[in-house]
Amino acid sequence: MTDHPPMRSFGRIKSRPIKPRQAALMDTLLPRIRIPDGTIELSALAPGAAEVWLEIGFGGGEHMAAQAARRPDVLILGAEPFLNGVASALRHLDERGLENVRLHAGDVRELLSRLPDASLARIFILFPDPWPKARHHKRRLIQADLLAELARVLAPGGRLRFASDWADYVDWTLERALRTPGLSWTAQRADDFRRPPADHVTTRYEEKRLGDCAPVFLDFVKA
């Protein structure tokens, strides 16, 4: 397992006041489902889970909660530094009564550094901040070192899904992922990346179409 310094989070950690109900869940539910510090024993987090998935930057938690509801046999880890997003996700988990999600309210690289090799079956990175200005590209989540870490924690046959509605970020990600040892792009034809995958869950953020192109979905598999 490789040690990495924590990656600086360039996004907003908190913007608007957290609603009272969500604030209460931050005090009650989050401590119960927070991923503990130190070495992570995945079997202890969810004994009997068929697989372990990770969503990086889960936003408001809609996609994560929907996937967890579909697959109660899977343990889903979620990482998000934006506290309003964490609070929103807690509401979704509480309303659905989901017990198979564990959260890291912080930078995902700190979490990745504590995960065992080949421990994840799926990773989702959906519509991350594109940082479209060239001088800000160094702030993008997708970088060579992060992709190397994702390849390390993916099990053979495991899948990484990246989605964006910014054309330059799609090209940026594809270029770097194809240079990452162990990752292979699964697309065989244009519809494989132009159409949402069958198991995709559309969120309110995605529906806003804030980017400069239609959503693109890149799926990679670990060799």
For this structure, is 129 an active site residue?
Answer: yes
Q: Is the pLDDT of residue 139 over 90?
A: yes
Q: Look at residue 4 in the predicted model and tell me its pLDDT.
A: 41
Q: Which residues of 188-212 are buried (b: 16+ CB within 10 A; e: fewer)?
A: eeeeebeeeeeebbebeebeeeebe
Catalytic member of 94, 129, 168, 192: 129
Domains of the chain: 20-37+45-222 (3.40.50.150)
Helices 144-153 & 167-178 angle (0-180, nearest 10)? 60
**pLDDT tens for residues 73-118?**
999 999 999 999 999 999 999 999 999 999 999 999 999 999 999 9
Q: Look at residue 5 in the predicted model and tell me its pLDDT.
A: 43
